[in-house]
Amino acid sequence: MRQQVAKLAGVSEATVSRVLNGVGPVKEETKQRVLAAAAELGYVPSALAQRFARKKSGNLGVVLPYVPKVPLFSTYYFSEMLGGIGEEAQAQGYDLLMLFRKPEQPRDYTALFQAHKVDALIILGARDTALDRGALEELERSGHPFCVLNQRYAARGNEPPFMTVDADHWSGSRAAVRHLVDIGCSRIVFINGPAQYSNSLDRRAGYDRVLAESGLELREELVLAGNYSRTSGYALTDQLEALIRAGDADAIFAANDRMAIGAMQGLRERGLEAGRDYALCGYDDADAARMASPQLTSVTVPFHEMGQIAARRLLQQDGEPKISAASTILPVQLVIRESSRSRQ
């Protein structure tokens, strides 16, 4: 109890509060007395009472998507982003509250603010679906500070877009495909993920662009659909093998490393090796890229930094959490490894 401290230090409770919060003018001697008394009594202010009095939860909420069967956390980039978010939140004196989204039961984000559970929100794994977009639009209208990570939404009508932190996947994709072209490939298969992710659209746009720039024909039968899981890449083995053996494909660009590895495994079972029989490039540069054999050419995305920036923009120390729809796009970088050795 703060009262005890006040009595022991021979001051009022108000003064104890001032000392402990470093606010207002306090005589140095008084301050020392209070500090000593607090230390002696082992006084720890109740965060519950503080937050109640300040009407601020002190929490930064992080919404995680529900992905059945796939342990979402293991998806590398979630982990990385969380690390960045956590680092920044801690630096700003906020606690990190994890919020698991229920399957197809989109959380009522606004209620989280109304209940004062969070002061700001970062949303991971959002997709461009009616459900997700609707939830975000409502949140936007409510005027609460939030940020969408690794996903962008086109401005619709005169509605301003949401605050977003994303990476430049269009450029990343172009760098990857250009690299494949540079080493002599001309029939490049593209394995993409679901279109609800802006990530997928960006990568596709980059792929199309480089093909056009290089005077290569865009053949729709070279564009395959996966869902970002390893098995979805593996499931394409038949098609990929046929394309390669028929001479219709000499390279594969997968929208993430897991699909790339799945494809690589499937093709290996058929006697086709990445870096020898075809060039292979993944995306994300997850640790799996280095674990693969041959190690995977990939595109490094600054997930950690993205998380950090999102948190920083939300938690700006200059007073209240910021609300601003500006969208930040971070650069990515191609990393060339064994899976795309230049063709002799």
Rule CB under 7 A: which residues touch DNA?
1-2, 10-15, 17-18, 20-21, 23-27, 29-31, 43, 45-46, 48-50, 52-55
Q: Is 329 left (phi over 0), alpha (psi -120 to 50) or beta?
A: beta
Between residues 51 and 107, which has the closer beta carbon with respect to DNA? 51
d(CA 116, CA 59): 9
254 strand-pairing partners: 191
What is the chain's alpha carbon radius of gyration, rounded to the nearest angstrom? 26
Strands (E), 193-249: 223-225
d(CA 234, CA 242): 14
Q: Does residue 287 bind its own copies (CB under 8 A)?
A: yes
d(CA 143, CA 323): 8
Which of 36, 39, 111, 131 forms a contact with its own copies (CB under 8 A)?
111
Q: Does residue 39 bind its own copies (CB under 8 A)?
A: no
Asked whether the beta carbons of 191 and 200 are under 8 A apart, the reply is no
Site string for its own copies, 290-319 (x = CB under 8 A): xxxx-x--------x---------------
Between residues 82 and 147, which has the closer beta carbon with respect to its own copies? 82
Could you give the count of Cα atoms lying within 13 Å of 36 in the half-sphere of its Cβ? 11
d(CA 239, CA 215): 25
Q: Does residue 288 bind its own copies (CB under 8 A)?
A: yes
Q: Does residue 48 bind its own copies (CB under 8 A)?
A: yes
Give the SS3 label for residue 84.
Answer: helix
Which of 3, 46, 129, 342 forms a contact with its own copies (CB under 8 A)?
46
Question: Which does residue 96 bind out of DNA, its own copies, none, counting CB within 5 to 8 angstroms by kind?
Answer: its own copies
DSSP 86: H
Question: Which does residue 216 bind out of DNA, its own copies, none, counting CB within 5 to 8 angstroms by kind?
Answer: none
State the amino acid at position 174 in one-letter form. Answer: R
What DSSP element (H or E) covers 6? helix 2-9
Question: Which does residue 27 bind out of DNA, its own copies, none, counting CB within 5 to 8 angstroms by kind?
Answer: DNA
Question: Which does residue 74 bind out of its own copies, DNA, none, counting CB within 5 to 8 angstroms by kind?
Answer: its own copies
Which of 76, 207, 228, 283 forms a contact with its own copies (CB under 8 A)?
76
Residues interacting with its own copies, by CB under 8 A? 42, 44-49, 51-52, 55, 57, 59, 64, 71-74, 76, 78-80, 82-83, 86-87, 90, 95-100, 111, 114-117, 230, 258, 261, 264-265, 268, 286-288, 290-293, 295, 304
